[in-house]
Amino acid sequence: MITLSIRPLIETHYVNQVQVFADSPWFQHLEQGQASRQEYDAFIFNLCQTHLKSPQILAFLYAVAPPTAAPQIKHNLLEELGLDQVAICHPDLLYQLATAAGFDGDRQTHLAEAAQAQIRQLCTDPLLFGTIQELGLSVLLEVTCFEWMLSRLASRIGKALAAHRGLPSESLTWFHHHSEVDIRHAEEGLDSVEQYLAYYEIEAEDLETILDITFRENIFVKRYFADLPAIAGAADENR
């Protein structure tokens, strides 16, 4: 009974997160070409900052993965690093995007530092959860939710950057990769979550609370639109 309801419960959160993001005035501005060049660039910066350290985050998830989920996460990690048969390093794709957007050496250094600062913060923030098991679940939920979102919106974002920010197609490979590839990833991500819950014997009630904590604000708005100026009507974005 309980196991059957887990997947739809998680999917409900993902659907809601993606919906709020896609409906947000920031996303609308970007997609409809109403954002300023500065706003497009801030978005590109934030997106790169968010995903540059994906290999590190996946390595953490690999470390805490149950044996059943470990091969899949390892595969994603190697893919991310370009160490699989496709041999495309995803952080490199993000630097291609940054270069095409005209980010100079200084700005790219700043980008790398900002991405590293997020890892540092993850380590210095006092831990609210009692064990790594809960932290690992929260990170896994966030990562798989990103994959879920990208599988649905990455190509729309890529198209918007081509149309309204004039970026050439070859600089948008990261978006192409994460749209088709991650439809599979997103489903596999949910498998991993289920395997994780079973392996660590996490109760449904705790899952619900950790979902609530992880998604108490919109994770995409938070990471992608952090420093964009407030848009009228956007103040109560998160409930």
Partner 1 sequence: MRIVEATLFALQIPFVEAFAHSVRSRSSSDSIVVRLRAEDGTVGYGEAVARPYVTGETVAGCLQFMERTLWPAVQATDYVPWAGQEEIAWLGSLTLPAEANETSGVVAWHGSRCGFELALVDCLLKAAGVSLGELLPPRHPVTYSGVITASSVEGAVKHAKRFKQFGLPYLKVKITGEADQERLAAIRAAVGPAVSLRVDGNGAYSVEGAIATCEALAEFHIDSAEQMIPRGDPQALATVQAATAISQMADESLITLADAQTLIAAKACRGFNLRLAKCGGLGPTLAIAELAQAAGIAVQVGCQVGETAILSAAGRHLAAYLPEISFCEGSYGSLLLREDLSRRPIHFGHRGLAKPLKGPGLGVEIQDALLEKYAQQTISLLAKAV
Q: Which does 209 bind (CB under 5 to 8 A by kind): Fe ion, partner 1, none?
A: partner 1
- What is the chain's alpha carbon radius of gyration, rounded to the nearest angstrom? 18
Over the window 215 to 234, marking each residue x when it contacts partner 1 by CB under 8 A and - when it does not, the resulting string is -xx-----------------
Please work out the total of residues on this chain that contact Fe ion, with binding judged by CB under 5 A. 2
Q: Give CA–CA dist 163/170, Å, rounded.
A: 14
Looking up tokens 């947000």 gives 24
Q: Site for partner 1 (CB under 8 A): how many residues?
A: 22
Among 83, 84, 129, 180, binds partner 1 (CB under 8 A): 129
90 binding Fe ion? (CB under 5 A): yes
What is the helix, strand, coil percentage profile of the chain, to 5? 75, 0, 25
Interaction of residue 85 with partner 1, rule CB under 8 A: no
Does residue 123 interact with partner 1 by CB under 8 A? no
Helix (H) / strand (E) element for 164: namely helix 132-165
> Which x/- pattern, by CB under 8 A, does the window 132-171 give for partner 1?
--x-------------------------------------
Task: Specify the residue for token string 């990833």.
Answer: 185
CB 237 within 8 A of CB 20: yes
Interface with partner 1, residue 238, by CB under 8 A: yes
Residue with tokens 């309801």: 5
53 binding Fe ion? (CB under 5 A)? no
Nearer to partner 1, 106 or 236 (CB): 236
Burial 94-127 (b: 16+ CB within 10 A, else e): bbbbbebbebeeeebeebbeebeeeeeeeeeeee
Among residues 128 and 232, whose Cβ is nearest to partner 1? 128
CB atoms within 10 A of CB 92: 13
Residue 113 interacting partner from partner 1, Fe ion, none (CB closer than 5 to 8 Å by kind): none
| Binding residues vs partner 1 (CB under 8 A) | 121, 124-130, 134, 205-206, 208-210, 212-213, 216-217, 235-236, 238-239
